[in-house]
A and B are shown apart, each in its own frame.
Chain A
Amino acid sequence: MNQPLIDKNNIPRPEKAVFPSGAKGSGNESEPVLPSRADEIRELNEVKSQLEEAKNILEIRVNAKTKALRDLASGLEEEVKARTQELRQKVEESENSRMALMNMLEDMEDLRRRAEEEKEKTLAIITALADGLMFFDHHDRLALINPRMESFFGITRIESKNMTGQSIAECFRAPKLKLLGKLMGDGLANISRKELFLDEKNVFEVSVLEVAGHAGKIGTILLVHDISREKMVEKMKTEFVSIAAHQLRTPISAIKWTLRMILDGDLGPINEEQEEFLDKTYKSNERMINLINDLLNVTRIEEGRHLYTLTIADMEEVVAGLMANYEDIARQKKLKLNFEKISPIIPPVKVDLEKIKLVISNLIENALKYTPAGGNIFVTLGEEEGMVFLEVKDTGIGIPEEQQNRVFTKYFRGANAIKAETEGTGLGLFIAKNIVETHGGSIGFVSKKDEGTAFSFTLPPAPDPLIEA
């Protein structure tokens, strides 16, 4: 490479023919010309120089060619080197890619294993669950049934295997699930805590929940909770209270009835003094009845949380009916009982009527009890922000401010309330709150000592059948 490159076009060429005509000896002439000796030498020299020149030229050309070849060779070598380098790089790259892929595969395997573990965990939970569970996929086909569910309904492994993949309707046609199917109705509507009486000893609570993920509905879970024990306890409690009530009330109701009939003159005439004594005895007996009622009513606390029969009711009718019961008492106590409906239309409500009546009675009775003679009680019914509300406002003794935060707690009675009225359990408002909240409403009050109290509660309106349909 240290030699300068020679331009091919500039390679010198001989100007004269190396073998001039006549000196070629090609054999075309039969007779050679014999030149003179000096001529000969000159010619020879000339030829020699021509040859040397030719030799030089050739040498230059060969050199040039050699150099070109060498250059070419070195160029090729460079190229090979570069290619090799490139290939090496490629190999390295592919090796890297392979490693990356291997890593990814490993990660995937790891993820798969973890997912598998999660699945196993979930399955273990479902299997060990104390509740029976059926899972229907988004096509409403049975995807899973857990062992508890099988044991609750006496389904064998084989039967549940056969059921897997079946539609809801097909599953509920199975003889062992017929009662459940009957409870469910047409399909798997969202229900909560519906009771299923399988037989005397087995009572279940059924709930249906739709499960949704990012991409919409995943499926539906049907949960079956065993409440046989609770039902048994409830029954025992009812029986116990029933016996206690019977034992305690039997003699007392006999006394009440006897005194009442004597006082009414049904058993012959009595004089004024006798009447006075008997009346006092009757009143003592009534107090005894109230005490026993309070004692038995402790069980009513639990009742507040349990709605038995829901019916559509018109609150105006309910309130009017109840207020009629209190007119006499209000008159006796010299109180004015007022009713006002402040909204033209009160939407119907869907309630456990007995329970709601208990709430209203509790509020009206409290107002009657704790309002001094000459006072007023205003009962207002209306509709506000889509809720039905009822307010019972009085001009009574009020609730001391420092005690207002305890109004809805069990057994609470205001200090001034105890002075005004010795009887009372402090359960009424506690029960009322339970009942109202179980219905999806809320209850509250405003009160000022010696000025009065206003209790009000709300209830959601019954679903509109037209919209429902």
Chain B
Amino acid sequence: MSWFVRSAALVAATAIVAYGVATIEERTDPRWLVLLAIVGLLWGIALWPATVRQAHPVDRAMIHVAAVIGIGFLLVATQLIRAQALDRERIQSRVVSTGTEVVADPRRQVLTPESRRGRILARDGTVLAETRVGEDGRSRRVYPFGPAAYLAGYYSPALYGAANVELAYDGALSGRTRMRRLGEWIDGILNRPTPGYDVVLTIDPELQSEADRLLGGRAGAVVLLDARTGAVLAMASAPTFDPNALSVGTRATPEELEAARAYWASLQQSNDGRLVLRATQGRYPPGSTFKTVTLAAALESGIANLDTLYRDEGAFTVGSRVIIEQNRPDPNRVSYTLLEGYGYSLNVVFAQLGLQLGASRLSEAAHRFGFGESIPFDLPVTASVVSVDTGYLTNPAGLAETSFGQGELLVTPLQMALVAAAVVNGGEEPVPFLVEKIQTASGEIVEQHRPRAWRRALSPETAMQLEQAMRWSVEHGYARGAQIPAAVVGGKTGTAEVGDRPPHAWFIGFAGREEPQYVVAVVVENAGSGTEVALPIGRALLERALGR
């Protein structure tokens, strides 16, 4: 074969390997194996031994067989290079928990002393998690700040692996980052131990304590974000777990192991989702807070504006379903503008609006807010959904119920906080973040989070109108309780029906001195009306944030 064909094949093979290494993570991903087969063929073309034309057929066949075996060895070498050099960190950091046992690289326990693991700090330096070495020389991971302990997660190398920030930032905490790869790489080659980095969260301990106190142990969640950047200032979730009881080191005594197992078993048995971070993974029907999304869809599509009039006679029939209106401020009044419908949370108005919008426009608007997608975040998140069954919205009754926040809607508190953030942010949702920076033990910054926009949910004009509607709701509507002196406040309450049990109480809102600075989302499970239960929590937290 000519040198041209050979070098072309070699270049192509190299390009394919580079592409495969860059895009395919697993060495046994079928796509990678197919690429390897192609690469093997190309290497065959490039390296095929040239035999003289007169060569004996047996000679030629022998050389061919040897060449095929040689190419096989090259493929083995490719896999080896991936395992030992390119994919090394990915392999080493892979940890899987089967629920009862954890499979991880046992060398991590032997080689990286837990005392070197980095700390998790709040934004003002309050320690959320650190490793303390006891008098007997055994190290132990402790979580001294109760209200945020479960955000840090747990680190339990002997039993249950890790969770939350301890899991998501395990690399940085044990001394591996993206930014200092070269130095760490050299350390790795020379087998030098690297100390772990400290992970600094955006959490404000005072606001976090306040959120935790306001929730008061009731099942539910509170999320407070910086409206502009998406920084999580407080994120409370209840009921939850105590990571101190789960963190057993590799040199734990049998009693400690037994205690941790017993605590784990009690978490499993309590069956109230204590290991689930409700703020990001809990999904609830949003109740009337979802009217914000329906209103956004209506304004955005231009089928109505805030002054459009709707009739509300106290009941509305869709198919066989009768929607009873309980929210009218004056039972004798039957005509309301859309703005009033939002502020007084009139289900009949929004049912009509939803039918007018149609299923596709409504769900499209929800998807623009991020429904159906996992929010990019530092902790595990669950995607919010408009409906569980795909055909649910094609049913007019289902569409009407969805429009005022019932139906099959399931949303996370973080998602609803982002809806409020989009409203006050000119229509753009920021990427929420919990980790502000990664630094060395002496405070030298290694990685700094830069606020980013996640997606555009609304046009700036619609966002402005929605902000006006949410403020009207606080100034004149049912969210009046949320007023804070000398501050700009907007909000929307929700009372989400859930079968026979008491409804979930919801509140989403924003507040600021000159213009909105903070957004909040509150849900309290089976606690009653949003106005009475959730709104006071949101208002108190916003006021506290404004006082910071």
Do A and B originate from a single complex?
Answer: no
Binding site for B on A (CB under 8 A): none
